[in-house]
Amino acid sequence: MKGLKGKRVLITGASSGIGAGMAKVLAREGCHLVLHYNRNQTGIKQTMKAVESLGLESGSKVSVLQCDFKALESLPKFFDQAWSVFSGLDGLVNNAGIVSKVTALKDPFGKQFAETLNINLHAPYQLSNAFAQACIDAKKTGAIVNNSSIHGQATCEWFSAYAASKAGLDAISKVQAVEWGQYQIRVNVLAPGVVPVERTDAILLEPEMAEKWQATIPAGRYGTTEDMGEATAFLLSDASAWMTGSILTMDGGLIARGNYPIR
């Protein structure tokens, strides 16, 4: 991917799922990676092992940092540590998040709603601000990729907190792109559709469930974490140098079709 080799990139939530897929693709492209995790030590070790193996050929380097994004006050120190690993960063991938499923009436005081917004929206907002300010101070360009979801555009029951956090992430990404364009700092959004990961494999790959879901996806298959990694590489690379404030939807055509009966 054009212009990625040697780029220094922080990926949050890299211990499993889409974050791990992103890390593997960017390592293949020769990026130097700072990988964040919270609790999943086994997962981050597996990601790091895969990245180190890919780095033998590509020249990629990797470092790991832990942080609990529920504690928003810890983010400034975390970002400073991430920036210092390779003496700066060229890219930030805000991937860490939680999927909360609860009806609004079962969360009447918004406890789960607030926690979801802290992790999925406030944390990437804060990290993006820190990244942009550091780039401006260093007089360098930068690229941010915010991992959102199709739920930010079209959603369903149980997802009020999650959908709100992702719609908010879509919105602030556009605002940040406008504010920071003058500094050559790009901000784009990746909006994945149905991508089986470790916590959903057992359900989504069950034959009856897979047939049900894939019949509604025009492309006829689920997405993969590698698909999301390739899209992230594109958004960070020079191939998308004139792209900012955009939402790249990767869902096999699921929401483009709409909720119409199959004819």
SS3 label, residue 188: strand
Examine residue 42 and state whether it is found in any structural domain, yes or no. yes
Examine residue 262 and state whether it is found in any structural domain, yes or no. no
| Residue 241: how many other CB atoms lie within 10 Å | 13
Examine residue 263 and state whether it is found in any structural domain, yes or no. no
Examine residue 260 and state whether it is found in any structural domain, yes or no. no
Residue 70 has what pLDDT?
94
Residue 258 has what pLDDT?
82
* Mean pLDDT for the chain overall: 96
Residue 122 has what pLDDT?
98
Examine residue 192 and state whether it is found in any structural domain, yes or no. yes
Examine residue 3 and state whether it is found in any structural domain, yes or no. no
End-to-end CA distance of the chain: 39
Which pLDDT tens digit goes with each residue over 179-226? Answer: 999 999 999 999 999 999 998 888 999 999 999 899 999 999 999 999
Q: What is the mean pLDDT of residues 230-237?
A: 98
Which pLDDT tens digit goes with each residue over 10-60? Answer: 999 999 999 999 999 999 999 999 999 999 999 999 999 999 999 999 999
The domain of 26 spans: 8-250
CATH of the domain at 222: 3.40.50.720
Examine residue 2 and state whether it is found in any structural domain, yes or no. no
With a cut of 90, say whether residue 261 has pLDDT above it. Answer: no
The tally of domains found in the chain comes to: 1
Question: By the 8 A CB rule, do 72 and 126 touch?
Answer: yes
pLDDT-based confidence at residue 263 (cuts at 50, 70, 90): low
Question: By the 8 A CB rule, do 30 and 112 touch?
Answer: no
Examine residue 259 and state whether it is found in any structural domain, yes or no. no
Percentage of the chain beyond pLDDT 70 is 99
Q: What is the mean pLDDT of residues 166-171?
A: 98
Which is catalytic among the residues 37, 162, 183, 222? 162
Q: Is 162 a catalytic residue?
A: yes
Residue 99 has what pLDDT?
93
Residue among 170, 177, 190 at smallest CA distance from 242: 177
Q: What are residue 248's DSSP bridge partners? A: 190
Residue 102 has what pLDDT?
86
